[in-house]
Structure 1
Amino acid sequence: MKSVTVQNLLDRFSMEVLAGHDHLERVIAKSKTHRPGLEFVGYFDFFSHAHVQVLGSKEINYLHTLSEEERNLRIGNVVKYHPPCFVVTRNQEGLKYLKKYCEEEGIPLLRTPERTSKFVDLMDTYLAKALASEIAIHGVCVNVSGIGILLRGKSGVGKSETAHTLIHRGHRLVADDVVVLKKISPETIIGTHNGTSKEFLALRSIGLINVSRLYGRRAFQDETRIVLDIELTKWQDNTLNNDLELEPKFTEYMDVRIPSIEIQLQPGRDVAGLVEAAANNWYLRQQGYSAMEDFMKRLQND
């Protein structure tokens, strides 16, 4: 199972350590933060104790209203579950009692200047990606007019060359050769690079190029949601039809179904243009438009 540590959070976010300096390697294995409001009033039936615990103004102000004896009881009941860490938002102060319990239990207590809602959104997004199930596949990932596309096919079929043409037309490279797919929700797959190959594109007869250096920063983006899977294959006569509407096909990655099509390559065929058409057609379908239905209505009205 994937995990991150409290130190990873410190490396990613602007936070100070108020307690638990010697326990920053504590592991976080859950992808959602939790605000322990109900737990501070004694309700623990559904306590998400393995999550990062975020204390906003509501939680801290409530604790400030309690007597010292009651406050110690409420905090003690929560820290005994040993959550990975506590994060206090909005640079709130008066946390001496929290520091005491966190030091005693070896739980990092962190503080951020961010507003609670914004911090929760940022942290949840980071953890969802950092803890997401992932696989690496051979292919190319591009973003075409805001639409994430995975280009697959046998080695040498022309995936990278197609990506290069798309970049030249103003679209963006995400990953070449090795595409890392991450499942961040039951319906969502994002594609990204493996770090080593970031910004690089390998072109036969040319070699390795850095698309950001060659075409500017707009030629590359770090990740994209994959919504279309395109397999590039060599041309074979009489294997593709001219149906007005093709039967929907899908490819599954980690149990997420992605719409899939095949594009055959042939000298002189504008493959990049066909990829653009596929992306734009997918977008129109999401808006509820079907070219086939539109065409049939016109026939009926003739």
Structure 2
Amino acid sequence: MAKVRTEDLIEKFHLELLSGEEGVHRPIVTSDLSRPGLEVAGYFDYYPAERIQLLGKTELTFFQKLSEKEKSDRMAGLCQDITPGIIVTRGLEVPDELIEASRREGVPIMRSSMKTTRLSSRLTNYLEGKLAPTTAIHGVLVDIYGVGVLIMGKSGVGKSETALELVKRGHRLVADDCVEIRQEDEDTLVGSAPELIEHLLEIRGLGIINVMTLFGAGAVRSFKRITLCINLELWDPTKQYDRLGLDEEKMRIIDTNITQLTIPVRPGRNLAVIIEVAAMNFRLKRMGVNAAQQFTEKLNHVIVDADKELD
């Protein structure tokens, strides 16, 4: 099903619908917009008819210089059966030829009081958010010191219990059990909770609790950019775990790689504190402070000095 339709734009941006009411249910398949200046001049070879079309002062001023037949032909060319809508900006008067063409093809004609550039920017941001690639991952998303931490692991490993402890320590829950993720940019993943389970946390033996009701509105947030993934796994005595933190593992979600840490789970380990520190350490690394690297450099200096003394 289409994520965005023309009627959504009318409601979101308070557009005035002038014609083509029967086409407001048309799907919008791309976040790209078109300002059909070349098309108004008569060049339709590469006309992107599937985009929302914006007609501003420049296009309509040039349009007034055309002959009556040219006006009719150009507006007919703009209104095609796959065009989701045409928006006239700045509250300008809509040409009669455009209204007539829209009625024939059922293309919605809308008007906005905003300037063309401003409307274009707002439309692009809105459509990119709505049409971004999405996926769903089993896990918990928590905002820890401003770092969006995605906690993953097998069922029963303690993800939700850890999230509850983090919320008690003042951090904010975004989603539990199912995290809906959309890629808003090349390296930007934004996670949120499905509407049905928003603000809810499932604790085995206790049941479902409403985090916002128990801890207040400051304990939850609707969405958060994901920058760190923590994978919880049961302690395996035969496995070698990273003890210095020099090796940086990556996890790929949609088309974006994010840093992943694997934390072994065993009785007595305070996972909430460990994850809290992992988030703080991740922030420090992004600021250029790498404790593991500094330790390695000091160790190398000590070894070099010891070798010199032996010589």
TM-score where L is the length of structure 1 = 0.86
Deviations 1:222-248 (A, max 9, x none): 222222111112234464546323312
TM-aligned CA distance change 1:37 to 1:143, over 3 Å: farther
Of 208-217 and 190-199, deviating more is 208-217
- Written as runs of structure 1 = structure 2, the 5 A alignment for 1:156-167 is 156-167=156-167
SS of residue in 1 equivalent to 2:134? strand
Deviations 1:127-179 (A, max 9, x none): 22322332222111122233222111122211112222222333222211111
CA contact (8 A) 1:82 1:105 kept: no
- Written as runs of structure 1 = structure 2, the 5 A alignment for 1:141-290 is 141-237=141-237, 239-241=239-241, 243-290=243-290
Partner of 1:16: 16
Partner of 2:112: 112
CA contact (8 A) 2:2 2:28 kept: no
Whichever of the two has the greater Rg, that structure is 2
CA contact (8 A) 2:250 2:260 kept: yes
Task: Report how far residue 30 of structure 1 moved.
Answer: 1.2
SS of residue in 2 equivalent to 1:4? coil
Of 160-169 and 59-68, deviating more is 59-68
Task: Name the CA distance, whole Å, in 2 between partners of 1:286 and 1:42.
Answer: 52
Partner of 2:308: none
CA contact (8 A) 2:2 2:27 kept: no
Partner of 1:90: 90
The letter for the 2-side match of 1:8 is D
SS of residue in 1 equivalent to 2:161? helix
The letter for the 2-side match of 1:28 is I
CA contact (8 A) 1:2 1:132 kept: no
The letter for the 2-side match of 1:274 is I
The letter for the 2-side match of 1:202 is E
SS of residue in 2 equivalent to 1:137? strand
Task: Name the CA distance, whole Å, in 2 between partners of 1:124 and 1:18.
Answer: 22
SS of residue in 2 equivalent to 1:246? coil
TM-aligned CA distance change 1:242 to 1:108, over 3 Å: closer
Task: Name the CA distance, whole Å, in 2 between partners of 1:46 and 1:270.
Answer: 61
SS of residue in 2 equivalent to 1:196? helix
Size of the alignment, in residue pairs? 302
Is residue 2:1 matched to residue 1:7? no
Partner of 1:71: 71
TM-aligned CA distance change 1:105 to 1:217, over 3 Å: same
TM-aligned CA distance change 1:98 to 1:171, over 3 Å: farther
CA contact (8 A) 2:246 2:293 kept: no
TM-aligned CA distance change 1:85 to 1:269, over 3 Å: same
Task: Report how far residue 86 of structure 1 moved.
Answer: 1.1
CA contact (8 A) 2:81 2:107 kept: no
CA contact (8 A) 1:2 1:131 kept: no
Of 211-220 and 133-142, deviating more is 211-220
CA contact (8 A) 2:187 2:256 kept: yes
Unaligned runs of 5+ in 2: 306-311
The letter for the 1-side match of 2:97 is Y
Task: Name the CA distance, whole Å, in 1 between partners of 2:261 and 2:120.
Answer: 38
Task: Report how far residue 253 of structure 1 moved.
Answer: 2.0
Task: Name the CA distance, whole Å, in 2 between partners of 1:90 and 1:212.
Answer: 43
Task: Name the CA distance, whole Å, in 2 between partners of 1:297 and 1:244.
Answer: 12
Unaligned runs of 5+ in 1: none
Partner of 2:52: 52
CA contact (8 A) 1:142 1:173 kept: yes
Task: Report how far residue 81 of structure 1 moved.
Answer: 7.0
TM-aligned CA distance change 1:143 to 1:114, over 3 Å: farther
Partner of 2:134: 134
Of 75-84 and 175-184, deviating more is 75-84
Task: Name the CA distance, whole Å, in 2 between partners of 1:120 and 1:218.
Answer: 34
TM-aligned CA distance change 1:253 to 1:67, over 3 Å: same
SS of residue in 1 equivalent to 2:194? coil
TM-aligned CA distance change 1:290 to 1:202, over 3 Å: same
Task: Name the CA distance, whole Å, in 2 between partners of 1:115 and 1:211.
Answer: 43
TM-aligned CA distance change 1:207 to 1:60, over 3 Å: farther
Task: Name the CA distance, whole Å, in 2 between partners of 1:66 and 1:170.
Answer: 65
